[in-house]
Amino acid sequence: MMKVCPSSILRQTMNGKLFIKGLKDGIPIALGYLAVAFALGFAAAGTGMNALQSFFMSFGMLASAGEYAAIMLIGSAAGIGEMIATTLVINLRYFLMSCSLSQKIEEKTPIWKRLLLAWFVTDELFGISSAVEGRLDPVYTYGAAVVSVAGWTLGTVLGVVAGEILPDRLESALSVALYGMFLAIIIPPARKSRFMALLIIISMAASILFASLPLLSSISEGFRIIILTVVTAGVAAAVRPVSEET
Amino acid sequence: MGSRIYLSLVIMILTIYAIRVTPFLIFRKEIKNRWVRSFLYYVPYVTLAVMTFPAILSATNSVYSGCAALVIGILVALFGGDLFTVAISTCVAVFLVELFL
């Protein structure tokens, strides 16, 4: 008969409880993801990506702006360098989140747990993982990730299917859903801070200049996003550094 | 076409994973530099603004419905609409404008 150490049983039940708590906390995230991913899948279908490709993208990337850029880059037949550079710049904030989470887990957390946790660093999963009191046990994040990744990928596939079967009128209407969500993210901070409002207006103005001026508009979309983001956010950070809490 | 899409996806999936995993493997220290933190704080807002405008104007069947989506989206977001409400109102705006075109 195998001898089981009582402390390992205790750890196992605690792990199970933590995982289930993660599953529960992941439900509201999954519902939100379902809608955003639906809009993404819809956009993916618009550039000719099929359900399997979109599923693969969503499962691997778990990023809204990042995936939208990916769809755009695939649609514009971007080169490898442009794809890597754009993905790096747009998703750079995950680097900061991973830095922060790497401080929150136990120092002796095994490598495989770190590798798995890194995959799940999204805005929302980062949010609930940082909100955990004290040290973070990745098992909690895994629980939340199982539910939310399911919502994210399911939403994407449904969006692709809708994009393929819906009539033209509805297709046109739904194609702005993702932009609507982007507006919902950037407008509230602009309402609270005059600087943020100015920053967003400048970003949009620069964007339309780049898109319409003769020489500038020859720059591909990926590089356009990189240049505008790095310059605008870089200057903003120098002019108005954010306080430590943010 | 299909294999080019998969190749692109693999490249971008590996890139985004590299961003997320590097701090767990190497850095292990929080970034304290104020400019870097501020820069990374502003990046998503600038990127989303740049990707939304002017692209939203040409996303629909007509530039008028695209304009309507932009204006309604901003208004609803200003008046405190959540993610879902803002998204749906832009869709409804497009649908209604295109009914009359």
Token pair recorded at residue A24: 């529960």
Lowest mean pLDDT among A48-57, A213-222, B42-51, B69-78: A213-222
Q: What is the pLDDT of residues A15-71, one digit of tens each?
A: 889 999 999 999 989 988 998 999 999 999 999 999 999 999 999 999 999 999 999
> How far is Cα A84 from Cα A72, in angstroms, rounded to an integer?
13
Residue with the bigger pLDDT between A192 and B32: it is: A192
Residue B75: what pLDDT?
97
> How far is Cα A74 from Cα A43, in angstroms, rounded to an integer?
12
Q: Is B32 on the interface with A (CB under 8 A)?
A: no
Provide the residue ranges of all domains of chain A, joining segments of one domain with +.
13-178, 193-246
Q: B96 CB contacts (<8 Å, ≥6 apart)?
A: B68
Residue A3: what pLDDT?
55
Residue with the bigger pLDDT between A64 and B32: it is: A64
Segment B4-18 shows an average pLDDT of 97
Residue A246: what pLDDT?
45
Residue A32: what pLDDT?
86
What ranges in chain A are assigned the alpha helix state H? 6-46, 51-61, 64-75, 80-90, 93-104, 111-119, 123-130, 138-165, 168-174, 177-192, 194-212, 221-239
Cα-based torsion angle of the residue sequence A134, A137, A140, A145 in order, rounded to the nearest 10 degrees: 120
Residue B24: what pLDDT?
92
Residue A214: what pLDDT?
87
CB contact under 8 A, B23 and A175: no
Residue B1: what pLDDT?
61
Share of chain B above pLDDT 90, in %: 77
Q: Is A81 on the interface with B (CB under 8 A)?
A: no
> How far is Cα A201 from Cα B52, in angstroms, rounded to an integer?
12
> Residue B33's CB: how many other CB atoms inside 10 A?
9
Token pair recorded at residue A45: 């279908």
Would the pLDDT of B28 be above 70? Answer: no
Nearest-CA distance from B96 to chain A in Å?
9
Would the pLDDT of B27 be above 80? Answer: no
CB contact under 8 A, B95 and A170: yes
**Radius of gyration from C-alpha coordinates of chain A:** 21
Nearest-CB residue to B73 (from A39, A101, A183): A183
> How far is Cα A229 from Cα A115, in angstroms, rounded to an integer?
29
Instruction: Tell me if residue A105 falls in helix, strand or coil.
Output: strand
Q: Is B58 on the interface with A (CB under 8 A)?
A: no
> Residue A75's CB: how many other CB atoms inside 10 A?
16
Would the pLDDT of B30 be above 80? Answer: no
**A117 neighbourhood in chain B, CB within 8 Å:** 24
In this prediction the ipTM stands at: 0.92
CB contact under 8 A, B8 and A240: no
**Contact A42/A51 with Cβ under 8 angstroms?**
no
> Among candidates B49, B22, B42, B99, which has minimal Cα distance to A179?
B49
Residue A144: what pLDDT?
96
Task: Give me the residue label for tokens 């994973």.
Answer: B17
Mean pLDDT (chain B, rounded): 92
Residue A50: what pLDDT?
96
Which residue ranges in chain A fall short of pLDDT 70?
Answer: 1-8, 244-246
Question: How would residue B76 be classed by pLDDT, with cut points 50, 70 and 90?
Answer: very high
Task: Give me the residue label for tokens 């309604």.
Answer: B72
- The residue of chain A nearest to residue B92, with distances taken between CA atoms, is A173
**Contact A102/A117 with Cβ under 8 angstroms?**
no
> How far is Cα A130 from Cα A132, in angstroms, rounded to an integer?
5
Q: Is A188 on the interface with B (CB under 8 A)?
A: yes
Mutation for B interface: A101, A108, A166, A179, most B CBs within 10 A: A179
